[in-house]
Structure 1
Amino acid sequence: MTPEKIVRNFDRCSDWEERYLYLIELGECLPSYPNSKMIDQYLIEGCQSKVWLDLGYDPESRELTFLATSDAAIVKGLLALLRIAYHGKSPQEVLHFDTQAWFEVLELRSHLTPGRSQGLEAIVKKVQTTARSQLAGFPPPLI
């Protein structure tokens, strides 16, 4: 799945109710998140719902890894979108991907509560900080 395919799939939805259902479906496809990492160290502050995020970096492939979950179905769908945008991408690709423009094309901002938008922004910033740290040769900061 690619960000472009997500845009096409969103365009096929007749209304926002269908888009929400699609987001929920995407969230159900997230890889399983280990219970052992559902602890405060991985909890993202600033999110309306509980969100656990485990970001990593594979030095062999030079790609970021993105594993996340939430206690809210819509938020899990939003996490699935971010996984599509970031998982398996190099730090340079992460930093060059215009997440805000993608969200505008998907019309996400106008259909999310302010709390969800704020949480989504906190996650994007965390991923970008991790990517910058990798480019600078530092390990990712603790969450």
Structure 2
Amino acid sequence: MESIERIRENFSFFDDWEDKYRFVIDLGKEIPELEEKYKTTDYLVPGCQSQVWLVTDFSSDDPHQRLRIDSDAHIVRGLIAIVLAAYATKSVEEIKEYAIEKLFEELHLLSHLSQTRGNGLKAMVARIQQAAHQHLYS
């Protein structure tokens, strides 16, 4: 999986949004598929246009959050790859506080997605931050 710095760099190379969409879709091909046992309503993220499943694994020994996310839509898998790259080096505390919306603004993602896709992306991030909060305060 590419680092968020590399994704930013690659995004800046493209002038055309069609090329950026292709790049996002290619990013989605790099993330591992979620095991079928997690593709249930228990892990489904509400508010997404496509099906998105989110699994968080926490460990008291490891301050980092392990996220596994998958979707049935190619473009959404690419957006997931960006989210995973953004959170990859962050601790659970940092994830809870991280303003990922600034990254989306920097990449101009939300302005080039349909409103329902943008809302789904926000719902996914809200679910991740909620899981981080629950882990820290439960």
What TM bracket, shorter-length normalisation?
over 0.9
Q: Aligned ranges for residues 1-143 of structure 1 at < 5 Å?
A: 1-87=2-88, 89-136=90-137, 138=138
Across the aligned residues of Structure 1 and Structure 2, the Cα RMSD in angstroms comes to 1.3
Deviation string, structure 1 residues 80-113 (Cα, Å, up to 9, x no partner):
1111122452112212322111000000011000
Give every structure 1 segment of 4 or more consecutive aligned residues whose post-TM-superposition deviation is greater than 3 Å.
none
Unaligned residue ranges in structure 2 (runs of 5+)? none
Q: Is the 8 A contact 2:54 2:68 kept in 1?
A: yes
Task: Compute the TM-score of the two structures, normalised by the length of structure 1.
Answer: 0.90
User: 1:51-76: per-residue Cα shift (whole Å, max 9, x none)?
Assistant: 11111212221111111111110000
Q: What is the aligned residue count?
A: 137
For 1:92, the aligned partner's letter is E
SS in 2 for 1:42: coil
Question: Which segments of 5 or more consecutive residues in structure 1 lack a partner in the other structure?
Answer: 139-143
Percentage identity across paired residues of the two chains: 36
Deviation at 1:47, TM superposition (A): 0.3
TM-score normalized with structure 2 length: 0.93
Aligned to 1:141: none
Report the Cα distance in structure 2 between the residues aligned to 1:111 and 1:103, rounded to whole angstroms.
10
The AA in structure 2 aligned to 1:122 is A
